[in-house]
A and B are shown apart, each in its own frame.
Chain A
Amino acid sequence: MFDFQAQENEDLIQNRIALLERMVSKFGDKLNFENPLNMSFDENLDSYYPLIKELKTFFGFNFFLNLWGTDTEAEGQTCLQVQLLNMDTHQRLVIKFMVPEGQVVPSLTNLWKGCFWCEQETWDMLGVEFSEIPKERIFSPDGMEGFPLRKDFRPKPFQLKSSKYEFTPDPRVDREIWKQRTVLEKDFFLGEVNGPVKAILECDEDKVARGRLEVGFLHRGIEKIAEGLEARQILVHLGRINMNCSSFYEQVFCDGVEAHLDIDIPERAKALRMVINEIERIFEHLDTLGRVCDNLGCKPFLFECLEMREGLTQILKEYSGRRMPHQIIILGGVFKDTPKGWITDCLRVLEIVQKKTIEISRMISKSTLWMDRLCDYELDSNQALSWGVTGPNLRASGVNYDLRKVNPHYFYDDIDFEIPLGINGQCYDRYLVRVEEIFQSISIINQLLDNLPLGSHLSKDARIYIPFKEDVYKESEALIAHHKLIKEGVQLPIGEFYNSIESPNGELGVHLLCNNSSRPLRFKLRTPSYYSGQCFSDVIEGGEPDEVPLVISSLNISIGEVDR
């Protein structure tokens, strides 16, 4: 039989080599291959816009991943980094530019709409100006002086200013007609949506003409906090960004640090990490499903979803001793082996979850009321790619891109599962994709728990492993290692790395710049909801003001992830 999979892999490798050869012949030795999947190169600021446009049109880097700045040691210089992705070859590319103080950088919003918040945030945090981008504080309070992510920033008392967002004239309609529009402001809190957020809507009679989200009410400054902490302490804060899927944040960070230190974790730890992650994926999707039901007024299904979520919380609590941020994943593996009888408990709960989800989806998927309300709010694939949306929202528009398939880590290669795809990118497709992903996750967990590898659950590498308490009391060597790890922390060698994982909402990435000490110089997160939060303004166009919470929960914009 012809092996399609092998042929595909062969093609992928061929394509990747061809792309690399073309790039090397064009850019020469500016390229820096630290990791074959994440290359980077340094460039002059004059060629900023033309270079990126060329990369997009001729080299196939058609997906915008991230844009961020780093304060450097050189006086008044900021290092601006743009990260792009080639979706055919899964090649990631980081381009670095040095920006002197006061220089205005051309905006990339013509190429990708999703740069908007990134550029606004870079101004807010580091003071880098972009053309065409309004100088508004997106996360820090209005009226604050200074830029928090600069190294010389010292907080000072300031007067809080209240500012109101005003829409610019709409170029698509007459000015007279535009003046008759009304502006509505709506506040939402936890319950209706996943965190506090404000929606500003420009209404034409009773339809929304334009809308945007105002975020920043939950901003905790995790990126700033992380600069003063060591790896184990950052982990505590990471788990609290999005409570529903905390293990993904822990894993993406631990995995990156382990790869940076060249530590191989035991197979059992890998399998257990995958199990915990898939449980959390179900957890997050059930949360979304329940919230969509709630916003449509189907309370009974909301309670069913909450009950299933409670069952999953209970099994995670049985494992770790804590309910919400359970912190099972730690540096070097998982902190504990599975408790006695946990696997049977887990399988039993998952079976009930599967039965109930089938029951719910049978009842509502084909019902006319459900379809009438949900077949709306379209996000087509072009828009989704332009906004940088990933995950189930992108797959609902028909783009087959899942990091578990294209860049499999751990045992995802050996496991049999499928990626559900939608067609139109409507709320209904997003709902169907999420429900199907629940079933796929359950099948992944079943396969994993059936073939759980034996062995240790924790890597005992001296660079990250805190010895057992009993050893610390008895042996002086263990005591010294214990003191060193607690006092100094995990030493991160010089260099930078990017690691990404498919979280329930999309590609979750962490970027760390280390400087031979235990504290990172720069810590940057790429959270998926940050980009689906921006695409809200496209999705809500032509909708009704009352259905804003439905749109937000169907896109699953988690405000904790957006604000960080």
Chain B
Amino acid sequence: MILEKKLYKRSNRILNLLKVLNKLIPTYWSLFISRGVKSKNKEAVLGAPVLTTKEDGKLACTSCFLCQDICPSHCISIEGNPHEEEAEPLEFDVNILRCTFCGLCEVACPVDAIRMDGKMPGALHSEMNLIWDKEYLMTYSGVHQSKIGEDRPLLPY
């Protein structure tokens, strides 16, 4: 019987292994080697807001409340200094739980005191850590100097 012969043909183990490898290797190879869809040119992401400092190490912010007004999700809360005009604020909190990382606060600030730093916040342990205060905003991604009058990349809006 021809059929039986064909069905139960003695298989060559090495040949079968080669056949399997022939299918397997390209499949796994494609996992490690990207096939050119991804773009290689990477630009910095916007990231989360930070506060910048002046040359003497003080906050550059002058409590003008512009960033608080423009924030679409109402996550900035500022407490100004009532005794002096154009002084640095007493409190400056950003609620990162509400922040949409839109960058409008950087656009609003006339003295380059708040800025998107290019790093996304990772996971944190508790809810308390996600309402960032003045000190944390100044230091969490290194100290940034405010650069009034210098060329900064254009942001949305």
Residues of A at under 8 Å CB distance from B?
Answer: 229, 232-237, 240, 307-308, 310-311, 314-315, 317-318, 320-323, 327-328, 330-331, 335-336, 339, 341, 345, 348-349, 352-353, 466, 468-470, 472-474, 479, 482-483, 486-487
* A317: B residues at CB distance < 8 A: 42-43, 45
B3 to chain A, nearest CB (A): 26
Is the beta-carbon distance between B39 and A349 smaller than 8 angstroms? yes
Is the beta-carbon distance between A330 and B41 smaller than 8 angstroms? no
B60 to chain A, nearest CB (A): 13
Q: A310-B38, A318-B43 are in contact. Are A232 and B110 (CB under 8 A)?
A: no
Q: How far is the CA of A315 from the CA of B38 in the complex (A)?
A: 8
A112 to chain B, nearest CB (A): 35
Give B120-157 as 1s and 0s: 1 = Cβ < 8 Å from A's Cβ atoms: 00000000000000000000000000001111101111
In order of increasing CB-CB distance, the 5 nearest A-B pairs are A311-B37, A233-B72, A314-B39, A335-B156, A236-B72
Which residues 69-108 of B have a CB within 8 angstroms of A?
A: 69-73, 100-102, 104, 107-108
Interface size on B, residues (CB 8 A): 34
Q: How far is the CA of A270 from the CA of B148 in the complex (A)?
A: 33
| Interface of chain B: mostly helix, strand, loop or mixed | loop
Is the beta-carbon distance between B66 and A486 smaller than 8 angstroms? yes
Residue B44 lies at the interface, judged by CB distance under 8 Å to chain A? yes
* B69: A residues at CB distance < 8 A: 486-487
* A234: B residues at CB distance < 8 A: 72
Is the beta-carbon distance between B66 and A483 smaller than 8 angstroms? yes
Give B14-27 as 1s and 0s: 1 = Cβ < 8 Å from A's Cβ atoms: 00000000000000
Q: A314-B38, A320-B156, A327-B102 are in contact. Are A233 and B70 (CB under 8 A)?
A: yes
8 contacts between A and B (CB under 8 A): A235-B157, A318-B42, A321-B43, A322-B45, A330-B157, A331-B157, A345-B41, A349-B37
Give the residue name and chain of the B residue nearest to A487 (CB): B69
Give the residue name and chain of the A residue nearest to B116 (CB): A321
* A320: B residues at CB distance < 8 A: 156
* A479: B residues at CB distance < 8 A: 110
Give the residue name and chain of the B residue nearest to A308 (CB): B37
A492 to chain B, nearest CB (A): 17
Is the beta-carbon distance between B154 and A468 smaller than 8 angstroms? yes
A349 to chain B, nearest CB (A): 6
Is the beta-carbon distance between A310 and B45 smaller than 8 angstroms? no
Give the residue name and chain of the A residue nearest to B118 (CB): A321
* A483: B residues at CB distance < 8 A: 66, 110
Give the residue name and chain of the B residue nearest to A356 (CB): B37
A309 to chain B, nearest CB (A): 9
A407 to chain B, nearest CB (A): 29
* B57: A residues at CB distance < 8 A: none
* A318: B residues at CB distance < 8 A: 39, 41-43
Q: How far is the CA of A215 from the CA of B104 in the complex (A)?
A: 32
Give B34-64 as 1s and 0s: 1 = Cβ < 8 Å from A's Cβ atoms: 0111110111111000000000000000000
B68 to chain A, nearest CB (A): 11
